Amino acid sequence: MTQASLGESVVQKTVQAQQNNGVAASATHTQPLWLLAEVTYRCPLHCAFCYNPTDYDKHTQNELTTEQWLQALRDARKLGALQLGISGGEPLLRDDIEDIVVEAKKLGYYSNLITSGVGLTEKRIQAFKEGGLDHIQLSMHDITEEINNFITNTKTFELKKKVAAMIKNHGYPMVLNVVIHRYNIGHLREILDMAEALGADYIELANTQYYGWSLVNRSQLMPTKEQVDEAEAIANEFRANPNNKMKVFFVVPDYFSDRPKKCMNGWGEVFMIVTANGDVLPCHSARVLPNMTFPNVRDDGLAYAWQDSPAFNKYRGDAWMKEPCRSCSEKENDLGGCRCQAFLLSGDAEAADPVCSKSPHRHLIDQAIIDSRNPQAVAQPIVFRNDKNSKKILAGELDDRVKAFHAVP
Ligand code: FES
């Protein structure tokens, strides 16, 4: 699931949250409506656009135990969390997802398993159904086996179609997520046809956002402006046809906009992410930010993390802003955009998101758009998300590649 679709779901659930009974009142004005449990960073897929941290390898040895996850669910519920995303890596690599699902149901969460489908068997989906799992979101990659297998660096094309049928057979709404990039953007019409043929109720076309592995592979993944415009027109055309019942959500790529996105619906406003090793984060990428210490469920309660930790309070609201955000009439709408993107591209976490036309760093985005037409940049090999490459990144062996995007030019 992407940040954008998480945000939309939150808005839909806000009213219910306000009416929610049995949840302790938060000491702050906000409550974590969403708990995203990134239960493992292990994954059988090696997607070039994965948003997991590039240095995830250092977090794979110390995953939270089942009991620690159940406690995190209880604590987040007390704070007001209503929606639970069970994500990864591939969450099904853990054999305790059934226990997490049962606890989520008992606590009254709306639970959503976000999966590649690898590891979803009849036995497990039956257990999830009986345990009260509400929703399964399946990632798909393309209509062609060639591109599915290339971009994930696996052979999973046929398996995904079988899993889609299994999800449908068990009475779940069919919710597909397709990350859009240069390799599949030209197949959008066919992807929509495939989703309809699979009986999808909802498809999220999530244009790649450039964090983690997708930032390392930005030159290879980023489509041209014309490709994005055409893709959006196809999505709009599909939505405009009253015969098409499948809902289509098109996540607009922020690089091609001149206004930044209100990332995560605001820092520390509605999302709380607990990572595989227990770190508590306001967004998936927050650990890239310098000079910040994030709470961990092993040492700190979730109430402390949400209400009192310096990390969650650092970019709440707009008091932290400097110009041009501080005096901008849009600041309450976008809250200055994404802190991680601001840091990754400009080197300054408090700068305006470089996507913004008022940002002094907008030229970095414009250069990326120019580079998307540069055959030499596009032709560089992809760094696939895998343990070997994560170790290389940790050892600094891919520094040149990574620094090309992280450093101030
Ligand atoms: Fe946007 Fe971290 S990813 S604030």
Q: What is the pLDDT of residues 79-92, one digit of tens each?
A: 999 999 999 999 99
**Token pair recorded at residue 131:** 């345990």
| Position in ligand 1 atom list of the atom nearest CA 340 | 2
pLDDT of res. 405? 61
356 in contact with ligand 1, CB cutoff 6 A: no
Best of 263, 314, 325, 353 to mutate for ligand 1, by most ligand atoms within 8 A of CB? 263
Q: Give me ligand 1 centre to Cα 4, in Å.
A: 11
* Ligand 1 binding pocket includes 342 (Cβ within 6 Å): no
What pLDDT, on the 0 to 100 scale, is given for residue 41?
94
- Pocket test residue of 338, 344, 348, 356 for ligand 1, highest count of atoms within 8 A of CB: 338
Ligand 1: atom nearest CA of 211 is 3
For residues 184 and 11, the answer to whether their CB atoms sit within 8 Å is no
Instruction: List for the chain the helix, strand, coil content (%; round to 5).
Output: 45, 10, 45
| pLDDT tens string 170-204 | 999 989 999 999 999 999 999 999 999 999 999 99
Rounded CA-CA distance 156/11 in Å is 34
Report yes or no: 218 and 175 within 8 Å, Cβ to Cβ: no
Say what the pTM is.
0.89
264: left (phi > 0), else alpha (psi -120 to 50), else beta? left
Ligand 1 site, residue 311, Cβ cutoff 6 A? no
> What pLDDT sits at residue 406?
55
**Weakly modelled stretches of the chain, pLDDT under 70:** 1-29, 402, 404-409
**Centroid of ligand 1 to alpha carbon of 135 (angstroms):** 25
| Listed residue (348, 358, 335) closest to 258, CA to CA | 358
Quick one: pLDDT at residue 182? 94
Closest approach atom of ligand 1 to CA 267:
4
Q: Are 355 and 337 in contact (CB under 8 A)?
A: yes
CA of 213 to the centre of ligand 1 (A): 15
CA distance 135 to 129: 9
